[in-house]
Chain A
Amino acid sequence: MYSENATQVALVIALYLGITFLFAFISGRKTAKGDFMEEYFVGGRQTGPWILGLTWIATMASGGTFIGVPGLIHSYGWIIFLWIAGFMMVITTGFGILGKRVGQLGAKTGALTFPDLLRDRFESPLIGILSAVMIVLLYLAYMVAQYAAGARVLEAVVGIPYQYGVIGFAVSVGLYTAYGGFRAVAWTDSFQAVVMLFGVMLTAFFAVRLAGGMDAINAELAAQSEELISGPGPNNFLPLVAAISFFILMPLSQLGQPALISRFLTFTGTAALKRAAFLTGVYVCIMYPLIIVVGIASRVLTPDIEAPDHALTAVVMLSVPALLAGFIIAAPVSAIMSSLSSFLLVSAGALVRDVYQRNFNPALTGEKAKRLTHAMTALITVIGVALALNPPTYLQLIVVFAGTGLGATFAWPSILAIFWPRMNKAGCLAGIIGGFASFVLQYSTMGGTSFFGFHPFVWSFLISLAGCIVGTLMTPRQSTEHLSLYFGRPLDGEEDEGRPAAEPQPQV
């Protein structure tokens, strides 16, 4: 344990949790009015720019960002900044490629979830179910990593045994997510995003000050090992092919994240989206470099720690005045809870809506829907806890596996679904299955490094693309009637792509 003021910190964290629940309760009450499904999953499509931007970043920045990245920096030094550099492009690519289009199509088709979008676009219940199942599986992995991260923070700072920490996180987040749905998630996310940002700013300030300034830190790092201040870093962490892989992977994998894509179903209009893109971009630019600085300082201030993932909490407890430390520890706790709530919402939604309601009971509504959603939220939580009770070592690597797995599976099907009229059900299936299967196969046989040194994501990304294209071109195009809903009709003088199908496709 690193904290002498464990009680003080614990009280502050309890206060923070109280505020979080308050936000959830107040926003959740609005969810109680109106159509349950629409309110629960997309907040009635009334999300404005600030909330949209903040919930986006809060969901994207998870325990991996706050606990895992400093842990990696502690071990490998400055090269980690290059490793995550792709995030500088994540807002432009995410909002620019998907944002507007998904929002418009969602409003037009009434889509409430990400699988909704694909299922309706391709007229395929199978795709709806398949993507729902993959979402649940991959987000479970992601959630386990978050529970582990949160429990480790509490363990390091307040001395709560790991198991209780896992259960504590799971239960708190499960409760407010189940209670208030998307609104509660978005509002708590926004509060948590503010906490995250201030937390990291304060920590960077105090840590660098204690260590004697950046130049002193760099000199000390160089003295420890020249590899910490150069590429590819200790143990050849990031050779050039890896640097290339991750600049592709970091932003583009976000394009396949169902929890992020579904946020684009919730905003009021393009003006809100643009403002959100601006806000989130600025936020990302402040936060990530500061996290790097914190990690670097931790290597100098606390060179000997039990586990790499303790780096952040160790440096906070050491350098930040006791009273503030509790507030700052709330930052990684926030990152974890905000991501957890979003994953839980999307996973429960996948089971309730994408598997059950749309295929077996379209009349599901009101009280029954609510109870089923609560039950599924509880179920997923319980499974996640059971899995988390065996803690993993490098948190960020699990996050990368789950995150890139989702990206490899869904990025191309999503992009092509909304921009390529010719794309059809077979192509989507091929893209999803090809991406997912090739990813799991590479990871289980070769770990994080695949052919020619590239990360498995790069190959799966390409295989998924190939699947989409080949699957589509080998099978007939969808009906023009259906496609015109998404793409309109060709303008005068413009050539239409392909020919319309001779007859409607059989339902699968």
Chain B
Amino acid sequence: MTIDPNDVRSREFFLRTRKEAVVAGAIWFVFFLWVVGVSYVMGYGEVDPTYSVMGFPAWIFWGVLLPFVVATLVNCLYAFVYLKDDDEKL
């Protein structure tokens, strides 16, 4: 392995990927609050069996399924809009 003493680009790359990682973590946290919060409040204990949305129990729909879809959209945005192209040529 050869070391380039003036590896400024390496530094930039490192800092940028680190920020992207933190953003990914923040996204996780937001969905954590949504999913666990809504599911718990709407779905734990007595649940009205007739209350359903699109065939899913209401608490499942609002607390798991919908966040799943939204998370996928957020993932697309994250991948295509937020992540930068960083390719270090050897």
Contact = CB atoms under 8 A, between A and B. Distances in A.
Contacts, number: 196
Interface in B55-80: 55-57, 59-60, 63-65, 67-69, 71-72, 74-76, 78-80
Contacts of B88: 104, 107-108
Nearest to B87: A269
Interface string B10-35: 11111001101101110110011001
Contacts of B27: 89, 92-93, 96
Nearest to B68: A88
A85 B49 contact: no
Contacts of B56: 214
Given A243-B40, A489-B7, A97 B21 contact: yes
A269 to B, nearest CB: 5
Interface residues of B, number: 62
A277 B44 contact: no
Main secondary structure of the interface of B (DSSP, over half): helix
B28 A488 contact: no
Given A100-B83, A108-B90, A488 B13 contact: yes
Interface in A224-280: 226, 229-232, 240, 243-244, 247-248, 251, 269-271, 273-275, 277-278
Interface of A: 78, 81-82, 85, 88-89, 91-93, 95-98, 100-101, 104, 107-110, 120, 213-215, 217-219, 222, 226, 229-232, 240, 243-244, 247-248, 251, 269-271, 273-275, 277-278, 281-282, 284-285, 288-289, 415, 418-419, 481-482, 484-491
Given A281-B72, A482-B3, 17 more contacts: A85-B64, A85-B68, A89-B28, A89-B31, A93-B28, A96-B20, A96-B78, A100-B20, A222-B49, A229-B57, A247-B32, A270-B85, A277-B79, A278-B75, A285-B68, A419-B18, A489-B7
14 contacts: A78-B60, A82-B35, A85-B39, A85-B68, A92-B27, A95-B79, A108-B90, A226-B46, A247-B32, A247-B36, A270-B86, A282-B76, A289-B65, A419-B18
Interface of B: 1, 3-14, 17-18, 20-21, 23-25, 27-28, 31-32, 35-36, 39-40, 43-47, 49, 52, 54-57, 59-60, 63-65, 67-69, 71-72, 74-76, 78-80, 83-88, 90
